[in-house]
Amino acid sequence: MRVPLSWLREYVDLPAGVTGRDLATKLVRAGLEVETVEQLGADLKGPLVVGKVLAIEELTEFKKPIRYCQVDVGDANGTGEPQNIVCGARNFAVGDKVVVVLPGAVLPGPFPIAARQTYGHTSEGMICSARELGMGDDHDGIIVLPPEFEPGTDAIELLELVDEVLDIAVTADRGYCLSVRGVARETAIAYGLPLSDPALLDVPPANSYGPLVKVLDPVGCDRFVARSVIGLEPDAVSPLWLQRRIQKAGMRSISLAVDITNYVMLELGQPLHAYDRHRIDGAITVRRAEAGEKLRTLDGVERVLDAEDLLICDDAGPIGLAGVMGGAGTEIAEPVVDPETGRVTGTTEVVIEAAHFAPVSVARSARRHKLPSEAAKRFERGVDPEAAKAAAQRAVDLLVLVAGGTAEAGVTDIAAAHPVHSITISADHPDRVAGQEYGRETVVRRLQEVGCTVVGGDVLVVTPPSWRPDLTDPNDLAEEVIRLEGYEELPSTLPQVPAGRGLTDAQRLRRRTGIALAGAGYVEVLNYPFLGEAALDALGLDADDPRRKTVVLANPISEEEPALRTTLLPGLLAALRRNTGRGATDVALFEQGLVFRVDGAADTLYRAPRLPVDRRPTDEEIAQLNAALPRQPLRVATVLAGSVEPDGWWGKGRAATWADAVESARTVAAAAGVELTVRQDQYAPWHPGRCAAFYVGDRLVGHAGELHPRVIKALHLPERTCAMELDVDLLTADGAERVEGPKISTFPVATQDVALVVAAEVPAAEVEAALRAGAGPLLESLRLFDVYTGEQLAEGRKSLAYALRFRAPDRTLTADEASAARGAAIAEAVARTGAALRG
């Protein structure tokens, strides 16, 4: 909403020194969003005057038409002699009044004006267009003024070129501020000044001889006021002051009747529509559209109507889309001059419509037909239904004043019953909401300032004004008090956290996991939880793979990714590809997030019950709602490519391998206090010979390894890209266990190495488990440091070398004790896995 400061001053007597920026500061403190304060004419300097064209000489020797004009500017040039001005515009004639800028003046830009030689003549100034004066973008021709202004009159004051315009972003709940009246009310409150309400007009009561109106849908239209004005001068034009005001407010001048309806809408916030009465066939009727009906709107487009559209009709059919846009069939006719008689014909009788339409109905129609009109913008935010009578009266008064018309005595006012909505609120409720004491007197005063009627003592009964449909409960009223007293006055207090409420176990685990992976060199990313079939195809998943069973969204952001993810890998691999594509050669990423898994048939989803709004859902209804949702396990995944240790003066670096992906899984498991068992597996999208499966007991919790070459090629990833994905819910399914800190012994360690030869298919994890079981309590740690296969071993055999560290908490171990523990470990490994001691 663009609001000129000069217009506001008509309704609020602001001190002379108040600027637009001062007012903007006050309004922002009151909760309005003032985006800019435009300084109109800030760099404009006169003399800029009214001139009368005395003579025009056409200069035809140039490529384009040029005119050499003599213009009377009165005494503005100091001599009283006519000014000689060269001009290229052709929309004026001898005797017309124009706007002339004289040498020494400065136009917006800044653009200084001086006498200059052009087209073989001296041009002593310039005849101005609207764009040159900063009045708009119209540059097709110069401004032709009404004939009543005398040459030499100051055009800066006449055209109100110097002003300040506040551009306010009005939120959906503050629809009353889409009017000068609403902003003036906020201004008056901000400065503690009285408001001259432009809606306080003497309006005659409704009678039976006004324009005939039938409202067949009182829900969609609960107020309809109609007035008639006859005897209008068809060639009457909008006065300059009216044109300038609607121009400053961001609208263009069209015709007198349309300009007046727009002016009143801007002034009072009530959209109006003017019909040519001679084009209305019978009674005006408000009803819903019928199937197949069509309407040609004022923009010249024929629209097929929907059954939900609310229409304004006459006996011949639709004449307007209620609250959105009028129809072309009843628009105000352009004046036509008969070249022979000079007689002007056009609209001489007008019917003014001032109605109140249901916000939802108007909003849906505007969006359905893609017609975001100024009227629809106001109706969908809420219009004061009591302003309809005053708005119609204001439009009638202006038509009579400017166009020489006569207001007919008939007044039509059809109004549905409006129950009075009152809110009961404790007088200290705003105090408790704000955390500071205002007192009853302040609360009552502030609520009365916004237009509420307030009665009561400690408990107040508040009736909001008709222009504030957003005030519906005690907290709305508390907000009004708080914003008018000033948000900046609220004390800064920290919230009191109840004792014993911290992070949940799941939140702590998620933080530990993130910290552990970040410490291992991984960078966290957050991806959208959407995927498409193309991503699953690129991963090489089988047709019956459970990860292909997805939940498809009804309104996806992208048609290429219409489903919810069943694995974290597509998003992570896409992030890896983007980073490597932008020159990052060594990348390690991780993500923690939910996936959405359909365990049964996909059609069992979406069968959620429709929950009631008048009561709390029952436990059974909540259970049905939860049953209709997909399972959403928490997962963590890593991807890495390039080097994990860079080259340098210290030597060669080390490229990332499947072992690093496996180690990232162990990092996550350590953060969860869980020990993983690693086994070889074949599982898409991993390389069949470089894929590890992770188990907790007999429970499969995830996979890691190097991606399949076909997947790397399909996704354009670096060679030997590795990845890991774990199901955190399965990882911690056994519940939280108490984690005991390590026991530190001050006694020396005894280190024993052992190399065991086993069959190639025996997992190293089984050998390790056997060694741990046999070594007993003296074993402090066990580490696999070498795996060998070669000529020295029989085919199908491998050698696993382990370093065993033994230590007692209370004594120094003897060589015999360490050897005995080593021997027991070897014996258990031999018994369980068929191992043989190498060498």
Mean pLDDT of 279-302: 92
Q: For residues 329 and 574, what is the distance between their CA atoms, to the nearest angstrom? A: 57
Q: What percent of the chain has pLDDT over 70?
A: 97
Longest dimension (CA), the chain: 133
839 or 87, which is more confident: 87
Three-state DSSP class for residue 353: strand
pLDDT band at 253 (very low <50, low <70, confident <90, very high): confident
What predicted TM-score, i.e. pTM, was given to this entire model?
0.66
* DSSP calls for 72-109: E-TTTTSS-PPEEEEE---S--TT-EEEEE-TT-EETT
So what's the pLDDT on residue 657? 94
Residue 272, pLDDT > 90, answer yes
So what's the pLDDT on residue 516? 95
Q: For residues 448 and 451, what is the distance between their CA atoms, to the nearest angstrom? A: 5
Place of tokens 């800030």: 42
Alpha helices in 235-373 (DSSP H): 240-248, 256-268, 359-368
Mean pLDDT of 534-541: 94
pLDDT band at 499 (very low <50, low <70, confident <90, very high): confident
Per-residue pLDDT of 707-764, as tens digits, reads 999 999 999 999 999 999 999 999 998 876 565 666 778 899 999 999 999 998 888 8
Three-state DSSP class for residue 221: strand
Residue 215, pLDDT > 60, answer yes
Q: For residues 124 and 603, what is the distance between their CA atoms, to the nearest angstrom? A: 82
Mean pLDDT of 670-686: 92
Q: For residues 585 and 540, what is the distance between their CA atoms, to the nearest angstrom? A: 25
CB 274 within 8 A of CB 261: yes
Mean pLDDT of 125-146: 81
